[in-house]
Structure 1
């Protein structure tokens, strides 16, 4: 049933504090951090509130219903930059401004150009003559595999790392002749390389590399033969709340999402995912972290009616991020690839006192040590193994380093400044000021004061000498090799999103070269030294660089690890890894756990 929604034609919605009061709504309290502004169209916002009242009962609104980020931004105008963050660009309606795939870099996306993978050399060569063909007709983008031409209904990503394409499949036996569900196609475009890789090709092609599905296929056959059902595997972390997930008579999974009562007319981040005629709260929104906002909105901004992660206990606070930055299977049957309690048909909701483990079990990809992640969106799992999570003096939260509400001048929404004891420090990972904002005056950096870090350029000599003494490397963190940059060693890129290795570890330790040798039978694993520099960037030992990048049990890496251990340890010339309290020691002592990473660069199964 189509529900009433208010569509905003303005680019930015600005509402006065007094403007949202009406029809029994208490006035907002300016002391709660809400910015007063000149109203642009308060009538539209008030209509949005009336829409909520027409869509839900008073009890539902009081108990907590998802209303959408535009209601939040209407008053918290300083958070309007959230619209431009990657969290808001997980899935979007396909369009010229959204499609970024351009393998020949001529400024025309490959759908518009009609890219035929049968006519070029690519990762899809083994599927010729039935390799995918891209096209664009009217307002619809298509992917054709064999004799099956499928409309692209969702573009996933494209604002960083990669872009994937979600389709519906023409079938028999359904009212509109299309699958009820949406399915991830086998096409992944990587922004860094301007190239394509095959994403779960076995979902679309059989063992003979022939198409699994042909014209006239039934919805039941697609549901049984394709593993890429978006409602089943993905939507839980690519939307703001899921009402329920059901499986229809054809075996297709259907996620019922919360409708958007207020949205911008031209915003591609709001899609009618569940096909009920309403735009839904697709993508991560304010309420993904702050919980359902209806009582807060209708309560005049009462802070007691909304969750602030800062006010949660320390473990639960970081589960706000952990609910998606992990890789789980739902419980109890593992049907879904996101936290979901199948018995109660519910998601984990911030601030409800729920144990995240009651919604999912760990199915993450790890290196053989069982600690360091091989796959992306596992940063919270990494963090749980780190001293940042267990520090008895001050627990470091995700938002200690990352600004969740807007993009910053730093990559990855790294915060721009930290204030400590009245000292404001401009922060960046490239010059170590982010790490020094906390670590100065402690341990190896006890002689660096916070005031020195705040005036980095003046004190770079002392800072550089101190860190170089710790790292045993020259100090040049802002150069391309990142020598003596904290994150090069303590957050090495050993995980994969689009290409190997493009995601920083969040265990915040130095992975010892000893582990490369200890796990040779399991394929080996990277050390921080090798992954950051010594496998590809430098030829210190005189035997070149790794001819098989990403293979950790070849002759090169065993020789490399042996050379590195002479300096790293145990009992190394520069460091000693025998401290039993270190994460490194825990890695060495831990029983090997299953971990995997894709070696074939033409295949990408890292969901």
Structure 2
């Protein structure tokens, strides 16, 4: 069987050996994108992989092949999914989303180039002096380094640093016992730079210093077996959610190192070279980060099939549960099953990862949940738990409209949180933003408290802001100023309060959509208390509404200040509340409390989603 692609003929196996696209995901479309890829691109693809790999239809080819035909992919490299893992390069210094962003004293020189020595300053690394980290940069070969005691390691890859949360650093360690003289795996350094506070914090320092003696764990060139036993392996703990596909099953070599084999990047755009690190150090740039095929599935069969739509997953055809599974792959806090070997969804007994469109079992069969909750068991305390949050709400199973993640977030968009910038209602286009409430009102208009707001009013927001504001204020009992610094009457301030931590307290929105009532702060005092929406969004540190002053420690919820503030807030939002009565039978606040205390997340089960218990 031969398919004509551009100017060349590419042989395809008549009976491919790998799993086909699931029948339920085939579009049945007759039209196909014209796969007029340049001949050299096809030749590069077919020469990069073995015939067997291509016949199995499970080859991840990389975004550059997608961009060749799909014009919307032109922004692919600006999406934050693509920017997590990067090669640190001097030319990109202090550029968010591209280079090293650490600059603690804000002097315009990154801390590695500055030669920051934590032994000569006060920092979180004081307990480890005189063996605290020393940072350095070598311009001659454009290399970043970290020294601890007598050991100097290369900073091979950075993670994060997009201007939102934090940046961490993956290292290559010189060792004895390997042919190259370097460890094979990537090991996470103890350095974390928090972008909002310009602060260095320690990240799992026990992997670098002995917790009892505070001496370094490693000498100048430690045996590789020691590094494997003590070091914090990125391949074991993290890589599954920061890459697109596994070329081989995860394994552990004779030295105890964890081995991840990525797909090689046969095409690397010069302007985005930093996004293609050589993760396994075989001399070939690799496809890491989250690219097109993380959601659409492996693209080789689609390309070599002349753009056959039945050889690629179209997420727009999926039902709510299946669509949300694409995000579930990573936006959960998990361990692999059945042995808990890896820190991401993976079948560690058979060496399989979940593949969009190909794997019959649901994602939930590939992990056990290890989420971090506040005492109510529903509110996220740790980050990357958005999927658990969502299914702790009624949104994805709502009788009138089941919510998909992609209705609010676009994987094809750049910008903070990748929020959609427009919603289409029939022929009406509604520009959307979280900060002015249009993202929420685009759907909630004409319903409930917002029945007097029409979609047309939301689409022409500036012309109707005063009328919309009056209606929203009647619901929120607060003045209307969602785009001001305090976000007055902004929907997400109450319904999506920031309760989880990525870098600092609190920098991650909840996704249960339930406004956390002040009484829950008091309800769980014996467990240390927990945030409530009113306090964490505004009243604890932004405004002194009740003469209590400001919260001296936003990370603590069982201090006298927290109890006093919760009691004052309950006069308005609580049992018998003047604004929202959490005991009244018809009160939406009562239902919010009941929903947030309900046992267990509801995950729909059906014949199509068997095994999702």
TM-score over 0.5 for the alignment? yes
Q: Among residues 40, 43, 48, which one is paired with 1:44 in the alignment?
A: 40
Structure 1 residue 545: Cα displacement: 0.9
CA contact (8 A) 1:245 1:255 kept: yes
Q: Tell me the secondary structure at the aligned position of residue 263 of structure 1.
A: coil
CA contact (8 A) 2:63 2:76 kept: no
Task: Give the 5 Å matches for 1:149-548.
Answer: 149-160=152-163, 161-207=165-211, 208-226=213-231, 228-242=232-246, 243-265=248-270, 267-351=273-357, 352-407=359-414, 411-548=416-553
**So what's the TM-score if we normalise by structure 1?**
0.89
Q: Among residues 581, 586, 591, which one is paired with 2:595 in the alignment?
A: 586
Q: Among residues 141, 145, 149, which one is paired with 1:146 in the alignment?
A: 149
Once the two structures are overlaid, the 10-residue window that deviates more, 116-125 or 554-563, is: 116-125
Q: Tell me the secondary structure at the aligned position of residue 201 of structure 2.
A: strand
Q: Tell me the secondary structure at the aligned position of residue 167 of structure 1.
A: strand
Once the two structures are overlaid, the 10-residue window that deviates more, 228-237 or 175-184, is: 175-184
Matched, 1:86 2:80: yes
Aligned to 2:609: none
| 1:342-372 CA distance string (max 9 Å, x none) | 1120111112322212211101111111111
**So what's the TM-score if we normalise by structure 2?**
0.88
46 and 356 in structure 1: CA distance in 2 versus 1, 3 angstrom threshold: closer
Distance 1:248 1:333 in 2: 18
Aligned residues: 565
Task: Write out the 4+ residue segments of structure 1 that deviate beyond 6 Å after TM superposition.
Answer: none
Q: Tell me the secondary structure at the aligned position of residue 231 of structure 1.
A: helix
571 and 237 in structure 1: CA distance in 2 versus 1, 3 angstrom threshold: same
| 1:35-94 CA distance string (max 9 Å, x none) | 99xx9x924323323325xx2225743533211111111111221201111111111111
521 and 48 in structure 1: CA distance in 2 versus 1, 3 angstrom threshold: same
90 and 61 in structure 1: CA distance in 2 versus 1, 3 angstrom threshold: farther
Aligned to 1:12: none
| 1:431-456 CA distance string (max 9 Å, x none) | 10110000000000001111111111
| 1:235-272 CA distance string (max 9 Å, x none) | 11111101211111221111111222222245111122
| 1:552-606 CA distance string (max 9 Å, x none) | 01100011111111111122111122459834313235599xxxxxxxxxxxxxx
Distance 1:390 1:570 in 2: 28
303 and 582 in structure 1: CA distance in 2 versus 1, 3 angstrom threshold: farther
CA contact (8 A) 1:430 1:478 kept: yes
| 1:304-325 CA distance string (max 9 Å, x none) | 1101122223212101011001
Structure 1 residue 463: Cα displacement: 0.7
Distance 1:33 1:458 in 2: 42
| 1:99-158 CA distance string (max 9 Å, x none) | 111112122111111110111222212221111000112321110011110111111111
RMSD: 2.2
CA contact (8 A) 1:494 1:502 kept: yes
Structure 1 residue 341: Cα displacement: 0.3
Aligned to 1:130: 131
Aligned to 2:554: 549
Q: Tell me the secondary structure at the aligned position of residue 295 of structure 2.
A: helix
CA contact (8 A) 1:369 1:590 kept: no
